[in-house]
Amino acid sequence: MDEPIVIVGAGIAGLTTALAAAPAPVLLLNRGSGQHRPASAMAQGGIAAAVGSGDAPRAHAHDTRVAGAFHNDAAVVNWLCAQAPATIGWLERQGVAFDRDADGNLQLGREGGHGVARIVHAGGDATGARLMQALRWRAQASAHVRCCDGVDVDALLLRGDGVRGVRVRDASGTACEIAARAVVLATGGIGALFARTSNPPGTDGAGLALGMAAGARTRDLEFVQFHPTALDVPDAHCLPLVTEALRGAGARLLDAQGRYLMDGIDARGDLAPRDIVSRAVWRVQREGRQVLLDAREVSGEWSQRFPTVLAACLAQGIDPRQQPIPVTPAAHFHMGGLAVDLHGNTSVPGLYAVGEVACNGVHGANRLASNSLLEGVACGRRLGAALAMREVPAAQGTARWVERGSSLPDAACGRLRQLLWNAAGPVRTGAHLHEALQECRDGLDEGWQSTLAMALLAAARDRVGSLGAHWREDDIPQTVALRIAGGA
Ligand code: SIN
């Protein structure tokens, strides 16, 4: 059968799946270039891997589960952390040159939540871009992969109860139907549905919405990670990230009075897990005060270690070597998504998901820093190899199209982003979530973005206790509840 495996999304997870599926034919569909640049290309963190002396996958797995508030699927965590050293080796064979010291050893950085330095970078904070460059080049040079840019997949073809094709639209709106032996969603996260995000505009949940329209089960939708330090560009939606590796190299968060923000909040200080740091920043901002990251003492050559942050700050007229950087929390990563097993199977036969759009339980309630590129590559390799081996019976049954549905107009999208930011940002309450849900239902036009937002808001409303990145300010800790009830 020469129907291709259709992969929707050409970030790290999609590219890796495509490469690993050789020799099966693959059609790799990319929503576009320009503003639809994948989030992977902007990833500044590196890849976490227990490759240092004295480190072990077990320690990496422990840190992953602590960050995830033990909501993680332990078996998947153990598998991923055990895969990490081999994943670095595979990437090197694809042409990625990781940063090494003068003796040729991998340079290891440290980020929040990690007990030791275990983050591998390529080109300093340009790791995502370097990985994308190498994998994209490989894909273009591979005879089994055909790349098609600038197309949006807006419908899935079901035959019987399985997915057997996609409908794509180009920028002019012209539609084309493509039969597939399997469809993989690798469309990334949902950061751009929030008013402030470190993601590019194309990470708007379009793939998640499409999978949901086809009836695929979702999991953990309420868990959204907010990065504490995006560059605070006034009134901007998609903000440049100011990597956590800077805090790993000694940068400190300050309030406008010059007080260290994390003092007295968490013993791990500036390197506490992201949810804790984000809430600290959010609370200061809610009082109308600015938060700054002082990176002036960071040693080493900025142009080699932090070229991306340096360029983004200079573009805003801020020299981070001379002055503190204004920062803000921003929606960064979705731990939830289409529920998949470790093989990438969604609940709909023939439909697979990998990378941020998927939820295999590895990140739990809060992702550990630098575990996402790792997940994209390790799970992409596993899924691609499995699809290449899979026997697919001839398509049978009546054909039926499921559509993602119409898109919200731009102005309504802007309102929705603000609504999600206020109600489902780093600090949430039941009352705000409830109000936001009603406003989505009654005050917004119908569109796939509002359907997706309502699913997220409902999941956040229904999880009444705080867990990981999902922080309910109205959550009464159990000990206090017992005291109120006279029990302790
Ligand atoms: C960062 O560099 O701070 C982000 C890394 C990540 O998201 O894991």
Q: What is the pLDDT of residues 362-377, one digit of tens each?
A: 999 999 999 999 999 9
Q: Which of 110, 127, 244, 356 has most ligand 1 atoms within 8 Å of CB, for mutation?
A: 244
Cβ of 369 less than 6 Å from ligand 1: yes
Cβ of 229 less than 6 Å from ligand 1: no
Per-residue pLDDT reduced to its tens digit, 208-226: 999 999 999 999 999 999 9
Give the Cα separation of 169 and 290 in Å (integer). 43
Q: Domains, the chain, ranges and CATH?
A: 5-223+335-402 (3.50.50.60), 224-331 (3.90.700.10), 408-472 (1.20.58.100)
CB 368 within 8 A of CB 63: yes
Cβ of 372 less than 6 Å from ligand 1: yes
Cβ of 44 less than 6 Å from ligand 1: yes
Give me ligand 1 centre to Cα 370, in Å: 6
Of all atoms in ligand 1, which is nearest to the CA of residue 242?
A: 3
Give me ligand 1 centre to Cα 302, in Å: 17
Cβ of 73 less than 6 Å from ligand 1: no
Mean pLDDT across the chain, nearest whole number? 93
Hunting for tokens 């509840």 — which residue is that?
A: 481
445 confidence band (pLDDT: 50, 70, 90):
confident
Give me ligand 1 centre to Cα 165, in Å: 35
Both tokens assigned to 486: 């006279």
**pLDDT attached to residue 39:** 78
Cβ of 127 less than 6 Å from ligand 1: no
**pLDDT attached to residue 215:** 96
Of all atoms in ligand 1, which is nearest to the CA of residue 244?
A: 3
Is 381 annotated in the active site?
Answer: no
Amino acid letter, residue 15:
L
Which one from 196, 252, 274, 381 is the annotated catalytic residue? 274
% of the chain residues with pLDDT over 70: 96
Task: Please determine, for residue 80, whether its predicted confidence score (pLDDT) is greater than 90.
Answer: yes
Task: Please determine, for residue 430, whether its predicted confidence score (pLDDT) is greater than 80.
Answer: yes
Give me ligand 1 centre to Cα 322, in Å: 23
Q: Which of 211, 178, 159 is nearest to 25 (CA)?
A: 178
Of all atoms in ligand 1, which is nearest to the CA of residue 371?
A: 8
% of the chain residues with pLDDT over 90: 85
Give me ligand 1 centre to Cα 429, in Å: 27
**pLDDT attached to residue 41:** 76
Provide the phi-psi class of 337: left if phi over 0, else alpha when psi is between -120 and 50, else beta.
left
Cβ of 243 less than 6 Å from ligand 1: yes
Q: Which of 44, 226, 366, 377 has most ligand 1 atoms within 8 Å of CB, for mutation?
A: 44
Task: Please determine, for residue 38, whether its predicted confidence score (pLDDT) is greater than 80.
Answer: no
Give me ligand 1 centre to Cα 44, in Å: 6
**pLDDT attached to residue 36:** 56
Task: Please determine, for residue 295, whether its predicted confidence score (pLDDT) is greater than 80.
Answer: yes
Give the Cα separation of 107 and 68 in Å (integer). 26
Cβ of 225 less than 6 Å from ligand 1: no
Q: Stretch 34-48: mean pLDDT, rounded?
A: 75
Q: Stretch 272-292: mean pLDDT, rounded?
A: 93
**pLDDT attached to residue 216:** 98
**pLDDT attached to residue 488:** 35
Give me ligand 1 centre to Cα 296, in Å: 20
Cβ of 374 less than 6 Å from ligand 1: no
Cβ of 370 less than 6 Å from ligand 1: yes
Of all atoms in ligand 1, which is nearest to the CA of residue 125?
A: 2
475 confidence band (pLDDT: 50, 70, 90):
confident
Give me ligand 1 centre to Cα 402, in Å: 35
Q: Stretch 244-269: mean pLDDT, rounded?
A: 93
Q: Stretch 90-116: mean pLDDT, rounded?
A: 94
Please tell me the residue having the least CA distance from ligand 1 atom 5: 45
Q: How many CB atoms lie within 10 A of CB 297?
A: 9
480 confidence band (pLDDT: 50, 70, 90):
low
Q: How many CB atoms lie within 10 A of CB 300?
A: 10
